[in-house]
């Protein structure tokens, strides 16, 4: 009878090239961004999550103050999700290679900004959402902040060596 190791070696899954493996986090994050553009994450649906927490933290919060804080949290989410997205796109573009390349960074920034524009188009077709070029600009600012952070990170690492 064959040994277990012989059987296992026959059923090894095909190896996925590093270039493709490097992209899965960015693709997954794009799905997260897409889901956040649906009705599920409209202001009406996120308020019930934030309101009890904010009222617990700040019991004297008025309705107007809550609306302002809720709005700021939602706008910070735009910036943050595209900051992360640009980092993941850069990871995919470099595909396991090391260091900084302008082409990788510009590709990551361009893809993030383009996806942001498409995301706003998607929101235009969701009844409970509104598309805004200002949101796309905020998304792109988050991606640009990631671009700048990556550049600074690699520049400082190069200076240390």
Local confidence band at 21 (pLDDT 50, 70, 90 cut-offs): confident
Mean pLDDT of 13-27: 82
CA 49, CA 52: separation in Å to the nearest integer? Answer: 7
Residue 84 has pLDDT above 80, yes or no: yes
In order, the DSSP letters of 88-136 are HHHHHHHTT--S--HHHHHHHHHHHHHHHHHHHHHHHTSTT----HHHH
The two structure tokens encoding residue 74? 């939602």
Mean pLDDT of 3-10: 68
Residue 141 has pLDDT above 80, yes or no: yes
Which residues, in sequence order, are CB contacts of 129 under 8 Å at separation 6+?
37, 38, 39, 42, 123
pLDDT, tens only, 99-137? 899 999 999 999 999 999 999 999 999 988 889 999 999
Mean pLDDT of the chain: 91
CA 150, CA 109: separation in Å to the nearest integer? Answer: 11
User: Residue 7: what pLDDT?
Assistant: 65
User: Residue 14: what pLDDT?
Assistant: 65
The pTM is what?
0.84
Residue 156 has pLDDT above 70, yes or no: yes
User: Residue 12: what pLDDT?
Assistant: 66
């Amino acid at each position: 009878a064959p040994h277990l190791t012989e059987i296992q070696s026959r059923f090894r899954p095909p190896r996925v090239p590093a270039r493709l493996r490097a992209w899965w986090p960015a693709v997954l994050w794009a799905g997260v961004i897409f889901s956040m553009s649906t009705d599920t994450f409209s202001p009406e649906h996120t308020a019930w999550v934030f309101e009890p927490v904010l009222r617990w933290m700040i019991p004297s919060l008025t309705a107007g103050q809550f609306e302002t804080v809720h709005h700021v949290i939602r706008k910070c989410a735009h910036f943050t999700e595209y900051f992360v997205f640009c980092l993941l796109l850069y990871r995919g573009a470099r595909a396991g290679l090391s260091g900084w390349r302008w082409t990788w960074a510009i590709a990551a920034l361009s893809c993030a900004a383009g996806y942001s524009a498409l995301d706003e188009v998607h929101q235009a077709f969701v009844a409970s959402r509104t598309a805004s070029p200002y949101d796309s600009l905020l998304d792109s600012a988050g991606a640009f902040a990631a671009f700048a952070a990556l550049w600074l990170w690699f520049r400082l690492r190069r200076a240390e060596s």
